[in-house]
Structures are given as structure tokens and as C-alpha cells.
Amino acid sequence: MDNLIIEGGRPLEGTVKISGAKNAVLPIMAAALLTEEPCRITGVPDLSDVVFMAKILRSLGAEVQFEDSTLTIHAKNIKCVGNYDLIRKMRGSICIMGPLLGRLREARVSMPGGCIIGARPVDLHLKGMRALGAKLVIDEGYISAETDQLKGCRIFLGGRAGPTVLGTANLMMAAVLAEGTTVIESAACEPEIVDLADFLKGLGAEITGAGSPTITINGVTKLHGTDHQVIPDRIEAATYVICAAATESNVRIIGARPDHMHAVLDKLQECGANITQEGTELVCNGGGELNPVDITTMPYSGFPTDVQAQFMALMTLIPGISIITERIFESRFMHVSELGRLGANIAIEGPSAIVKGGTGLRGAPVMASDLRASAALVIAGLAAGGSTRISRVYHLDRGYEKMDQKLRALGAKIHRVAE
Ligand code: EPZ
């Protein structure tokens, strides 16, 4: 397992280009199972989650090539049973259930495990499939689903924490080949859902309302291949903007979609960060007094839970009390104890973390626990004086393309060593 070694306490300088969105490309890869014709997807980030999803699609019988940020997926002849061990290991793979059910009228996928940030139930996914007329049996860790014909329906998909992103994606992908019309109420509104809908429309699906809480899908009988360019990763972009603010750097961020980032940019403005927009480019000018802010994570277009850990790292540097409340996942504070090793002063009170910022951070050995927590540790390590060693960076490689290379190009003293 690799480690990252960071010599922190120095500002960065330069331009960073944002890669394609992990959380858009994973469901889009699953959606390519809906057609027997080839699909070409460009702007794909080189991430271990993408490579893993390609492995899952191959285990189903699809041909998958991935090079130069381009995926070619040809699901000519596929089977309905996913490899238990593969699927169990990556939550995002649950979204192969919808396309398999839609195209083959049966699917057998393993129950995705929970993970360090929460239980990650799939009850809403199953509710949606049953509403479309699938018979579901859960046995030996598998979800087995079958149907003579999926039938369109109206379904409320909201859960205890609001909409479900992958649940919405799964249901959309099952409904596009169902008989009749499906209306999803309380659908997720994330840009990644809009991107999936655009891909499905490229296959010939009839979808309206993507990006709003009500999505309407008129089922069709067959879908064809398509070419699609993935949207930029708003979470990666937010991570670099926060990193620039935390290290008082002058950094230009290109290739992002600032219109997908209003909540994060608004919070950064509120705490006094100097960030301007030039067309679709974000220009961060470091320095200047920052002040504490309070954040509550919400479904889109509210403040994204996937940026909570990174923003907390920034809060540890701002003198005063900041409060960050996590409303989406029940235990997404694994980064708190590791930030504490770097000198942060954070107390957890139920769903909130109270950050007493401005105590100063000093480098130390820390351990990544999940994808966004590891990004928070990189930000804190870059801002801290001295040397920080981050272990288990495979978590980072799941969702950030070449992060250490991109940061080195900005002048950061960061390098990767094998453990
Ligand atoms: C997606 O996960 C993202 N992953 C997550 O990003 C992101 O944090 C999350 O959406 C919320 O925005 C991908 O897109 C691959 P949810 P997803 O279903 O769809 C509850 C990252 O760091 N829920 O929207 O699995 C659930 O427990 C990852 O890139 C149910 O109760 O999340 C949570 O509290 C982490 N029943 C809330 O809904 C269900 O059937 C939102 O979860 C499904 C979800």
C-alpha cells in the first residue's frame, strides 16, 4: 500500500485541470449494459473505482476498453449474475441491477456492504424495483430480481435523509425499457443524475425532469449505442479550491463547472476566501483574513456531504469556532481523529463537529479511512508545518485522478512511496 509524504507550510502556485466526475461515470458505465451496441464515453478519469467497475462489466460478459480517458463498452452478450466478490467490494456497483433488470428481466447482484461512513442501506433501490413489478428475493447475500415485464409506475423515492442518488439512477435505468410511463418523485437532483439522463437520452431513452425532484420516463422497447462526454468532477474541483484557500495560494482551476458548485463557493465567500470566476475558470488568490462559518450538509443543491471533510480541514486553520453538521451519513467523521493528530481541536456532538480553529497544525503520521477523509488529510498536511505521512492512500486513488502529480505541478512538496 502506498503512502504520501508531504512537506507542508508553503503556498502553491499555478493551474490545475479538473478531471471527469467519478459519480457520473460509474452509473453511466452501468447504463451501457442497456444496449447491445457499443458506447464510447470520453472525459473519463483514471480512477481505481472506474477500473474496478470495468472489471465488473467484463465479469458480466461486456467488452470494455479504457485508454486515454476514453471508455468503449460493448455489452453485446451479457449475463445477469454479477461476480459476488467483485460487487460486494464497491457500493457504486449496486447500480448494475437496474440495467440488468431492464434488459434481461433478471438480475442477481450481491448486497453492497456498508462502509466506514455509514450503513448504506439499499431499501429504496429495492422499493423502486418492486414498484416496477420486479419480484425480489434476498438470499445468501445476493439480491435476486426477476420480472416478466417491468411496468411503469409513479413512485416516491425519498428516504430518511432525503433523496437517494444511486437509487434514482438505478430506477431510471430500469424504467427506460419498462412498459409505459414512470414518474419518480423526490428524485435526486445532482448534476450526475442529469449527466446520466443525458447519456440515456443518447441511447434513445425518453426522459424529462432530470435535475428536478420529479423525473418522468416513457419506456421504449430498444436502445442503441451512443458517444458521451462525462461532466467535470465538482467534488474534485471543490477539493482544489479549498486546498488553495487552506494554503493561501494563487491557483487557477480550469475545466470545472462552477454552476455545479454554488453551495461550496458561497460558503468559501462567506468565510472570506478570495475566489473569483473568469468564465468557467475559478481563480483563487490566497492570503487575507478568514472567518469561521457553520455548514450543514444537504442533498443537492445544498452543501455536498462529499466536501464536508475537506472543508473541516480548512476550518481547523480559521481562528474561532466553526460548526459542521452532517445530515446525510451517520458516521462521516472518521477524519476528525486523524486531523487531531495534526493538532486540530475538534469535538463531536451528535451529528455536529465543533471546530476550534487557529490552533496551528503540525505534520504527523496519519491514516486515510475513506475517500474524502484522505483528501482532507492531504489539505491539512499541505497547510501544516513540517512533514506529514499519510498511509492507505488507495482510498484517495478511488476518487482523485493523479492528485499527488497535480499538486506537485502546483509546487507542493508531496511524493508517493510504497509502504
Ligand atoms: C452517492 O452515494 C455518491 N456515490 C456518494 O459519494 C455521495 O456521498 C452520496 O451519493 C450522497 O450525495 C456515488 O455516486 C457512487 P445516497 P449513494 O443513496 O447514492 C440513505 C463519494 O465520496 N439511503 O444518495 O449511495 C443513505 O444511507 C461518495 O464520492 C437509504 O436510506 O448515496 C444516506 O443516508 C461517498 N436507503 C442517504 O440516503 C437507500 O436505499 C443518501 O444516500 C439508499 C440511501
166-176 pLDDT tens trace: 999 999 999 99
Distance 329 CA to ligand 1 centre (A): 8
Query: Which residue has its alpha carbon closest to ligand 1 atom 35?
Result: 306
Ligand 1 atom closest to the CA of 399, numbered from 1: 29
pLDDT tens for 88-143 read 888 888 999 999 999 999 999 998 866 778 888 999 999 999 999 999 999 988 99
User: In 3D, which of 302, 267, 32 has the Cα closest to residue 163?
Assistant: 302
pLDDT tens for 31-82 read 999 999 999 999 999 999 999 999 999 999 999 999 999 999 999 999 998 7
Q: Mean pLDDT over residues 317-337, rounded?
A: 96
Ligand 1 atom closest to the CA of 123, numbered from 1: 40
Distance 304 CA to ligand 1 centre (A): 11
pLDDT of residue 90: 86
Q: Mean pLDDT over residues 239-265, rounded?
A: 98
Instruction: Find out whether the beta carbon of 157 lies less than 6 Å from any atom of ligand 1.
Output: no
Q: Mean pLDDT over residues 405-418, rounded?
A: 97
All structural domains of the chain, each given as residue ranges with its CATH number in brackets, are 2-19+232-418 (3.65.10.10), 22-222 (3.65.10.10)
Instruction: Find out whether the beta carbon of 234 lies less than 6 Å from any atom of ligand 1.
Output: no
Catalytic residue check, 39: no
Instruction: Find out whether the beta carbon of 370 lies less than 6 Å from any atom of ligand 1.
Output: no
Q: Identify the active-site residue in 39, 80, 95, 115.
A: 115
Query: Which residue has its alpha carbon closest to ligand 1 atom 10?
Result: 165
Distance 410 CA to ligand 1 centre (A): 32
- Note the pTM of the prediction, 2 decimals: 0.98
Ligand 1 binding pocket mutation candidate from 56, 328, 398 (most atoms within 8 A of CB) = 328
pLDDT tens for 394-407 read 999 999 999 999 99
Q: Mean pLDDT over residues 367-394, rounded?
A: 97
pLDDT tens for 187-197 read 999 999 999 99
